[in-house]
């Protein structure tokens, strides 16, 4: 390959690399502009005797939870009114809407102890074993360093 051909090849490679870098930067800018709605998923259990006996569990999705989240505490009993119910097959989804109300209850301690399952900290190796996580794991990640080596 002549010197001129090498120079042209190098210029072409630089142009392609610059184009790809610009495309990546554009994608990152678009992701940052994305309008995301915050949500929280709560695992709940019924405190009625029939619910306790049959181990009834459900997940409630709270959209835009900033107002209600500070009022909730793990393991406490609440009465929830006006949820939106949707489902497909045997799966039922519960989510809040504008008229949903949450009220704290004074439940009998023995009932709460029967249904409350405190969260447990797991190790990374647990992620590779499905029986270790349970039905609805809460995952928190910390990205410490990314290397391109």
pLDDT digits (tens, 9 = 90+) for 35-73: 778 888 888 888 877 877 887 778 888 888 888 888 888
Q: What is the pLDDT of residues 83-93, one digit of tens each?
A: 998 877 767 78
Which of 130, 121, 79 has the alpha carbon at shortest distance from 100? 79
Q: β-pairing, 39-45 with 57-63?
A: antiparallel
**pTM beyond 0.75, yes or no:** no
Sign of dihedral through CA atoms 141, 68, 71, 53?
negative
**Measured CA distances, 23 to 29, 30, 34, 148 (Å):** 10, 11, 17, 20
pLDDT score at 148:
63
pLDDT bracket for residue 144 (50, 70, 90): low
What are 44's strand-pairing partners?
58
């Amino acid at each position: 390959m002549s010197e001129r051909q090498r120079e042209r090849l190098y210029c072409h490679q630089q142009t392609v690399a610059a184009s790809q870098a610009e495309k990546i930067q554009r994608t990152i800018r678009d992701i940052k502009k994305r309008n995301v709605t915050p949500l929280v998923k709560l695992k709940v259990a019924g405190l009625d005797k029939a619910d306790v006996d049959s181990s009834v569990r459900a997940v409630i999705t709270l959209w835009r939870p900033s107002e209600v989240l500070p009022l909730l505490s793990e393991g406490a009993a609440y009465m929830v009114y006006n949820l939106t119910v949707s489902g497909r097959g045997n799966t039922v989804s519960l989510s809040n809407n504008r008229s949903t109300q949450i009220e704290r209850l004074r439940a009998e301690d023995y009932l709460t102890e029967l249904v409350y399952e405190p969260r447990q900290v797991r190790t990374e190796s647990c992620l590779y074993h499905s029986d270790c996580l349970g039905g609805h794991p809460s995952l928190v990640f910390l990205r410490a360093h990314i290397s391109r080596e």
